[in-house]
């Protein structure tokens, strides 16, 4: 088998960023895209945001007061913004719209929903920072770093609601 050949392609397009794709020809007319993992991770992130949007709608309805409900709806709006940003990146990289899927069911009790959300947000922080580290593309890197910071903030809010709710129990 001949040695693999490395190919690079440069893509420039809205929203004002450039993507450098690396392809490795492994012979027999097969091409392996080195950004395959990045694209798959972005698709997973889209599904996570889609699931969080649905979950936080339920959690807001379960909130014990208007202040908590409004904060959860604000967090939900952040998740919508992340979903839209990640979808735009995915579409730009693949030329296709993603098909989001619910990947997790949200608990239907308020306190268990808060516990679930804290853990989910913390996992998202690590995952988004990993995605940011995978790419040299500054737009993608900064979008995921910002989302990671938002997710950390969300976890703090959910922890606040949980400790406040348990103190009252």
Give tens-digit pLDDT for 93-111: 999 999 999 988 899 999 9
pLDDT the model gives residue 24: 39
Residue range(s) defining the domain that contains residue 47:
35-168
Say which CATH number the domain at 41 has: 1.20.1260.10
CB 1 within 8 A of CB 9: no
Mean pLDDT computed over 116-128:
97
**Angle at CA of residue 144, ends 142 and 150, nearest 5°:** 105
Number of domains making up the chain:
1
- On whether residue 122 sits in a domain, the answer given is yes
Domain presence at residue 153: yes
pTM for this entry:
0.78
Contact 36, 91 (CB under 8 A): no
- Kindly state whether residue 164 falls inside one of the protein's structural domains: yes
**Using one digit for the tens of pLDDT, what is the confidence trace for 45-62?**
999 999 999 999 999 999
């Amino acid at each position: 088998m001949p040695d693999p050949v490395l190919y690079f392609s440069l893509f420039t397009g809205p929203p004002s960023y450039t993507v450098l794709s690396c392809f490795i020809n492994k012979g027999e007319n097969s091409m392996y895209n080195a950004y395959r993992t990045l694209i798959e991770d972005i698709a997973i992130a889209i599904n996570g945001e889609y699931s969080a949007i649905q979950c936080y709608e339920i959690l807001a309805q379960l909130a014990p007061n208007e202040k908590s409900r409004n904060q959860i709806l604000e967090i939900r709006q952040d998740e919508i913004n992340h979903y839209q940003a990640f979808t735009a990146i995915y579409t730009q990289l693949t030329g296709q719209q993603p098909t989001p899927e619910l990947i997790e069911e949200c608990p239907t009790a308020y306190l268990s929903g808060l516990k679930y959300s804290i853990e989910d947000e913390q996992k998202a922080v690590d995952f988004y920072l990993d995605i940011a580290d995978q790419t040299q593309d500054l737009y993608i890197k900064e979008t995921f770093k910002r989302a990671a910071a938002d997710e950390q903030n969300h976890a703090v809010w959910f922890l606040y609601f949980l400790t406040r709710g348990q103190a009252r129990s």
